[in-house]
Amino acid sequence: MTELLPPVLLPPGLLPPVLLLGAGKMCGAMLAGWREQGLQPSVVIDPAPGAAALACDGVIVVASVEAVPAGFAPAAVVLAVKPQQATAALPALARFGGGAVMLSIMAGRTVTGLRGLLGLETAVVRAMPNTPAAIRRGITVACAGPGVSAAQRMLCDRLLASVGEVAWVEDEGLIDAVTAVSGGGPAYVFLLAEVMEQAALAQGIPPALARQMARVTVAGSGALLAASTEDAATLRINVTSPAGTTERALAVLMASDAWPALMSRAIEAATQRSRELAG
């Protein structure tokens, strides 16, 4: 990515107008990140009553594509409806495809499929963020489709980087596995906190303390991992004293039919589901 957007389109410190289709939690997190950087007047499309909460200075919420103000020309259109709604919702956005890059954060929907709904010449970037974007600690993996210019890719990179780290892949097929690993990953971590809390309760630890221990241990370990230059395996070994209590627990968790095998099966199941959502 060596070509910068022309200053007339993307002045330093100011993001160009964006159109968001869908007003879910991810869109809310991304919009908040963009506003922190400075966002030109933008539009959110979502008929749900709760979507109105995203309205603020410079951002309006409308119920349909038809209600988008005349003359509004977004530099990017973020596709964030449920994958099952894409066939019905996306064709109406085709009129923006001539000048805007379409940035899809929908699970499963392929670049080819999206171009079939939006127009075969539409510039589409397929991306998968995750929910830590809400605290600007997410990671998004993206893939640029045919016809995406260096300037459009740079714009998408900047939009995504406002909520965390960004990585790009050339092989779109990897996005299904990305969806399974990092897209769904926060749920797996939250499940870990849940089961740790329940296990603590089973050992007689009071409920409030069990929850505090599980939450802070998971959050603190994640922060340590983020701050460390060592890999996860080394950090695990550092906690594991020979013949100690942690080693005994890991012997259970790392058995051939236990955690590693279950996680592999879970990621495979989620990857397959992402492929099915291509529709």
Query: Residue 23 and residue 25: Cα distance in Å, rounded?
Result: 7
Domain count, the chain: 2
Average pLDDT rounded to a whole number, residues 26-36? 90
Q: Which of 150, 178, 206 is the last residue of a domain?
A: 178
134 shares a domain with 80: yes
Query: Residue 39 and residue 124: Cα distance in Å, rounded?
Result: 21
41 shares a domain with 119: yes
Return the pLDDT at 12: 53
Query: Residue 104 and residue 145: Cα distance in Å, rounded?
Result: 11
**Per-residue pLDDT tens for 143-193?**
999 999 999 999 999 999 999 999 999 999 999 999 999 999 999 999 999
Tell me, yes or no, whether 165 lies in a domain.
Answer: yes
135 shares a domain with 255: no
Return the pLDDT at 98: 86
111 shares a domain with 231: no
Return the pLDDT at 4: 30
Sheet holding 42-45, edge to edge: 59-62, 42-45, 18-21, 76-79, 101-104, 124-128, 138-144, 164-168
Return the pLDDT at 57: 83
